[in-house]
Structure 1
Amino acid sequence: MKKIWKIGLSAFLAIGLLAACNTKEATNEKPSSSEQQETTKVDQATFPMKITDATGKDITLEAPPEKIVSLIPSNTEILFGLGLNDEIVGVTDNDDYPPEATKKDKVGGMDYNIEKIIALSPDIVFAHASSMGNSKGAIEQLEAAGVKVFVVADAKNFNETYTTIEQLGQATGKLDEAKKIVANMKAKVKEIETKLDGVEPKKVFVESSDEPQIYTTGKGTFMNEMLEMIHAENVAADVNDWYQIDAEQIITKNPDVIVVAYNYVPDILKKIPQRAGFETITAVKNKAIVQVDENITSRQGPRLADGLEELAKAVYPEEFK
């Protein structure tokens, strides 16, 4: 179950380009990948307010919530980033950042403790679209008990993540703080893109689980977008979504770099070169097998720009000396 949870998390609203991108087109300058989509605007946070969640459900908030429960680590990181430490009364067993999150009341892991959540008397519960397959029944029970549940969209890229942060800022009366977080993230992304401007692209293979069931990231995933943002070629992008891949296929694809996006296997960086046939892979020959923090490279929250930087350093260490 732990592996499935990690793969699922690694497992983010395009509305066109605005004036800035039009200016780039007029000058024949190609917009950076972080500018390919524009964040959906969240302009005000006045109460009472009506907000619409990822399921299309409208929720009315009379005032900023004083008690909040978060049902996924990415929501929790955003809420703490907004300065809502005192308001957060419950999180899941999987919430490990920031350290303060580990001190909050726990409401379960993949299966939620409905009675515990209700007992905490939250003004709002922030759920997540990625876990709706497991949590739909729990959400219905909470709503039947009079608890307001806002389902956060499963962001597929940076711009959708920016929108999520602003939406949570709006719903909690912390929109100004949310906009500051987004501005800082955009600045860091721009810095990374500028750093790698003109770099010679490398072929990269990302694996999110160990053999015998090796999973990787294909097209339409957050990790694939991140690889494109750092001008790397995802050798597994010929298939959509996360999928299982054979060791023989990895050998044939011959990546320049192997990125390990999990940490549940001790000494995995030593084990990968020992796989049959892997000695012929360029990444193995050049000792270019690197492990990245799966949390900051997959959680749709404030640390995602840090994750992009860590990925960039893993693929192009020579550019960050």
Structure 2
Amino acid sequence: MIQRIFVALLVLATVFAGVPAPVAAADHAEQCTFPMTVTDATGTEVTISEDPERVVTTNPSAAQTMWEIGAKAEVVGVSQYAMYLDGASEKANVSGSGGLNVEAVIGLEPDLVLVPNSSYTAEPDRVRQLRDAGLSVVVFETGNSLDDVVNKTERIGTMTGNCEAGETRADEMRTSIENMERALEDAERPVGLNSFFGYTSGANTFISDVMVTGGLRNGAAEANLTGFAQINDEAVVKMNPEYIVIPSHAPHPSSPAYNSTTAVKEGNVIVVEANKLQQPAPRAIEASEAIMKAVHPDAYERYLELENESAATATEEPQTATETTATDAPETTATSEQTTETSAPGFGAVVSLVALAGAALLARRA
């Protein structure tokens, strides 16, 4: 039971961020030019002297991003919870029994250490130790939307010298989001509820955006719940969700309150792989796709058609460029907008010391 509570607190850890500023990547025109100086989520200016060849990721969301931009060969260290990634078992494990293993990270002599905000929130002293050892450590802000995840993907590409790959993956994600929106233009959105171990994802969470992008209304957000919050039986009954979305490691909710809902009565419980639903990384797009497929199968088929059309267009673009005459003005690429992302608000009530301890212990799993 304690283990389940700790797992639930994995996602909750992100609401205790308490850091002021987002990572500010180098200007678009100077991407992948080193040395590069960025300002991270702690307000610290971090200089990356040269194109990093050895990167350590302290949480699976950062590791997943490196994998998704084709840069896993540059990763020399990962957390134990990133072992689901293909080839991750061949990397050094930088997790210790009590959290991040500082000595292991320093011993890998990394050029860059990527630290998701949940890791920093849980273990700020260990991040400080890494910086005191002379390592370049970049802490990322908490992402509250899929757009935040997209922007972070692009920035990681920039800071690791993988600009083109980061931009390409980010553009693919943006296109997929746009195609889902197009496919769902005329769809009626039923009420959905994300449920895991007695908690839910309210407004200002990227999981809420995953659900909405997939064609649901987030009942928790409409009930004025913000961040990752506990939800009681009374709220569940009143909301009466038509669909319930759960991560793959969580049990199906089966209390009398949940059993009374339309979702449970009609078998509309959508199980999504936890590594896609609960990690603010590129594969979160696949969580939205899974929800759309279950809730709006016709729109999902239309979405696949749009994705194929987008892929075909992307393939044809280089051929179009070669046909441009010398008198044509060169096509310019729009600069990616650097959004200001803030930490998700915490709970209104004081969280117990036990919950805080659990969050600190398992925040590194996000």
What TM-score comes out, normalization by structure 2 length?
A: 0.72
Q: State the match for 1:315 in structure 2.
A: 295
Q: State the match for 2:238 in structure 1.
A: 252
Q: State the match for 1:219 in structure 2.
A: 203
Q: Secondary structure at the match of 1:99?
A: coil
Report whether the alignment pairs 1:303 with 2:290. Answer: no
Report whether the alignment pairs 1:290 with 2:270. Answer: yes
Distance change in 2, residues 1:313/1:126 (3 Å):
same
Distance change in 2, residues 1:59/1:282 (3 Å):
same
Higher relative contact order, structure no. (Cα contacts within 8 Å, ≥ 6 residues apart): 2
Mark the runs of 5 or more structure 1 residues left unpaired by the alignment: 13-38
**Post-superposition CA distance 1:27-60 (Å, at most 9, x none):** xxxxxxxxxxxx9974422112112211121122
**Post-superposition CA distance 1:266-298 (Å, at most 9, x none):** xx3xxx3x5225443211221112211122123
- Pick aligned residue for 2:41 from 19, 43, 54: 54
Report whether the alignment pairs 1:235 with 2:222. Answer: no
Q: State the match for 2:181 in structure 1.
A: 193
Q: Which amino acid aligns with 1:245?
A: I
Q: State the match for 2:164 in structure 1.
A: 176
Structure 2: distance between partners of 1:196 and 1:319: 6
Q: Secondary structure at the match of 2:134?
A: coil
Q: State the match for 1:67 in structure 2.
A: 54
Report whether the alignment pairs 1:154 with 2:142. Answer: yes
Alpha-carbon contact 1:68-1:126 (below 8 Å) kept:
yes
Q: State the match for 1:29 in structure 2.
A: none
Report whether the alignment pairs 1:77 with 2:64. Answer: yes
**Runs of 4+ residues deviating >4 angstroms:** none
Alpha-carbon contact 1:297-1:311 (below 8 Å) kept:
no
Q: State the match for 1:9 in structure 2.
A: 11
Q: Which amino acid aligns with 2:216?
A: A
Q: Secondary structure at the match of 1:296?
A: helix
Alpha-carbon contact 2:26-2:37 (below 8 Å) kept:
no
CA-atom RMSD in angstroms: 2.4
Distance change in 2, residues 1:277/1:162 (3 Å):
closer
Percent of aligned positions with the same letter in both sequences? Answer: 27
Alpha-carbon contact 1:7-1:208 (below 8 Å) kept:
no
- Pick aligned residue for 1:164 from 152, 176, 197: 152
Distance change in 2, residues 1:48/1:40 (3 Å):
closer
Bigger helix fraction: 2
Deviation at 1:308, TM superposition (A): 1.3
Structure 2: distance between partners of 1:228 and 1:84: 30
Deviation at 1:316, TM superposition (A): 2.7
Structure 2: distance between partners of 1:137 and 1:178: 30
Alignment of 1:74-113 (within 5 A): 74-108=61-95, 111-113=99-101
What TM-score comes out, normalization by structure 1 length?
A: 0.81
Deviation at 1:307, TM superposition (A): 1.6
Q: Secondary structure at the match of 2:292?
A: helix
Report whether the alignment pairs 1:123 with 2:111. Answer: yes
Mark the runs of 5 or more structure 2 residues left unpaired by the alignment: 16-24, 302-366
Q: State the match for 1:15 in structure 2.
A: none
Q: Which amino acid aligns with 2:199?
A: Y
Structure 1: distance between partners of 2:300 and 2:164: 33
